[in-house]
A and B are shown apart, each in its own frame.
Chain A
Amino acid sequence: MGSYVVRRLLQALVVFVGVTMLIYGAVFLLPGDPIRALSPNRPLPPNVVAQLRHQFDLDAPIWQQYLNYVGNVVRGNLGTDFFGRPVLGLMKERWPVTLRLAATAWFFEIVLGVGLGVWAALRRGRVADYTILGAGIAIISIPAFVLAFTAQLLLGVQAGVFPVAGTQDGWPMSYVLPGFILGAFGLASVSRLVRSTMAENLQADYIRTAHAKGASPARIVLRHALRNSLIPAVTYLALDLGTLLGGTVIVEGIFNLPGVGQLLFSGIQQQNGPVIVGVSTTLVLIFLLLNLVVDLLYAVLDPRIRLD
């Protein structure tokens, strides 16, 4: 187990270095000069430009910049953006919104996804099963931003059930609709995953044994079938949390929620390198951490993996 953990940590480290280099390189290649963009109408004096370049480390070669940046990140310093705002401070304002949004989406994925999956498996081959299957594929097919507009128009503007946009109604009201749309894709996937494993497990011998022993139907479904069907769904859910955090770019934009997705997107539009790199790096870290947790959990649960 020990050597497996070490190996897995080393792999995560390699990936982290690779991804951050990729992001750093992409940001470096962004068209335009960020220092000149600071004062678009009046050109800055050359000595000020040189000073600013030095201040943001732009006068060093890219590999040097990258190493300096990583060194600072390790010390917990994400630097300031080109407007002089500390990146860490910007993210501290934005992360709570994104976390609330992702948590709401995750909640829908877990409760509705697992619930509908179980229901479909129990009603296998009947109307409820086909309805859930059809609705699932339909939801997966409709792109999130089309779904978001439609819901915003129907439920927000016309019916007035949910706030149209913004966070002024606080959690949960302002987050229910965007959270549901963010989680819709995962919800459909989870329900299909649970349905197929559960339908398979319901035919297993140990279920027949449980019936024969006289266990109650509720106990058979919850204790025997569901418990053994959850592993793929749990893996999916854990990994999907990272996707949810990254997928907020669109939903935050449409529902005007000031989260990290919007911060990142405005950073890209303003060529604000430190913001782009800072936000992406934290997202990558979270993503890798989730992957690591899932893999280690697997190794704990399944001895075959760590002996591999």
Chain B
Amino acid sequence: MAVFEREALAPSEALARRITIWSRLRKRPLFWLAFSIAAVLVLIAIAPGAFAGWFGHGDPLACDLTDSGRGPGGGHPFGFDIQGCDVYANVVYGARDSISIGLLVTALSLVAAVPLGCLAGYYGRLIDALLSRVADIFFGFPFLLGAVVILSTFRLRDVVSVSVTLALFIWPVLARLMRASVLQVKQLEYVEAARSLGASDARIIRHHILPNAIAPVIVISTITVGSVIAAEAALTFLGVGLQYPAISWGLQLAQAQTNFQQHPHLLIFPGLFLSATVFSFILLGETLQNAIDARA
């Protein structure tokens, strides 16, 4: 009986659906565009050293004040910043913290949101009411504002503390989505069938509800990676995000703020990399969403 239930019902449906989505996704040039930008940036984040040295000056901390603010030139395609450091090397090394925060925040939020959303959606009642009110509290004030207030209470702000703060405001969004998705899946026939075959709640949630309800959460999580990276840059720019000596796009842009009129390259290159990163994750989520929606 158990074999029949596992092989023939929900998982095969989820699997078939995944295969359809993938075959649809595979044909979309926009998906491949987004995927390749994101993949290159993740590679840069993992091994910045391999990319920074391309033009012969790979050390982001090798600075000479006589080069301060000099524009792009031979061996330094992005020019120099105010401290005389190579902008290209700094931009390349800046990818790591931004992408780490984007992924870490999303992972932390998912760890809280998926189980809580599942429980709230499946059992309803008290746990649902409790979760909804807690989520409401974090929705209660604008995200940026809340993050500014909380982050300014930290003395030391590194990748982990910034990520935890941002995750505090992101998880309710994903938990709500998970809950809504579970509510929909819960009513489907194969869940009913599994229950009448005597499957336990834990088994129904793990094998039947979760695989079929997770898709919209994955889509929004992908988009969230992009929005979190943008939010981190904004907070760092405001002075409540990452701090020196971290190498971060937000810090580079904050530094560019005072003199970008004389040295526009200080604004353009970090801004370009930051925007491209956000763009690739948002577009990835969008194409994924379209592939899933087209199913209906």
Question: Residues of A with Cβ closer than 8 Å to B?
Answer: 11, 14-16, 18-19, 22-23, 26-27, 29-31, 137-138, 140-146, 149-150, 153, 157, 242-243, 245-247, 249-250, 253, 264-265, 268, 276, 280, 283-284, 287-288
Contact = CB atoms under 8 A, between A and B. Distances in A.
Interface in B5-25: none
Given A23-B141, A30-B152, A137-B279, A153 B260 contact: yes
Given A11-B136, A141-B278, A287 B141 contact: yes
A138 B238 contact: no
Contacts of A138: 275, 279
B133 A15 contact: yes
B145 interface: yes
B183 to A, nearest CB: 12
A249 B257 CA distance: 16
Classify the interface of chain B: helix, strand, loop or mixed.
helix
A81 to B, nearest CB: 16
Interface string B152-172: 110100000000000000000
B137 A15 contact: yes
A253 B240 CA distance: 14
B187 to A, nearest CB: 15
B142 interface: yes
A293 B273 CA distance: 40
B247 interface: no
B71 interface: no
Contacts of A245: 142
Contacts, number: 120
Interface in B222-262: 226, 230, 233-234, 237-238, 240, 253, 256-257, 260-261
B234 A280 contact: no
Contacts of A264: 145, 148
B174 interface: no
Given A243-B142, A280-B149, A283-B141, A146 B271 contact: yes
B286 interface: yes
Interface residues of B, number: 41
A288 B140 contact: yes
Nearest to A271: B152
B144 A246 contact: yes
Contact of A31 (B140, B155, B257): B155
B267 interface: yes
A75 B230 CA distance: 40
Given A141-B275, A143-B230, A246 B153 contact: no
Contacts of A18: 133-134, 136-137, 140
Contacts of A145: 233-234, 237, 253
